[in-house]
Amino acid sequence: MNSSRLACLTGGILLTVGGVLCGGAFLAEVTSDPDGGANIGAGVLLFLGQPLAYIGVMLLVVSSMLFARSDRFPQH
């Protein structure tokens, strides 16, 4: 497995996990009682999910740059 595919796979997994955590935070915020403690849990989920999503996006950008620089069509 070359480096661009590895970066793409890792970035996609991190972006997915970050999106699930941020989505869970949104659902916890929307469905919670205003006086409940779910706001703290939602904040923790956002605190953990956003950096993962940002790192995933950066890895996907790096992956696309590595793929664009690679020699996709070797000359015979």
Tokens 């849990």 correspond to 41
pTM to 2 decimal places = 0.79
CA nearest to 3, candidates 50, 47, 67 = 67
Q: At what angle do helices 3-31 and 38-69 cross, to 10 degrees?
A: 160
> Which tens digit of pLDDT belongs to each residue from 25-76?
888 888 887 777 778 888 888 899 999 999 999 999 999 888 888 776 666 6
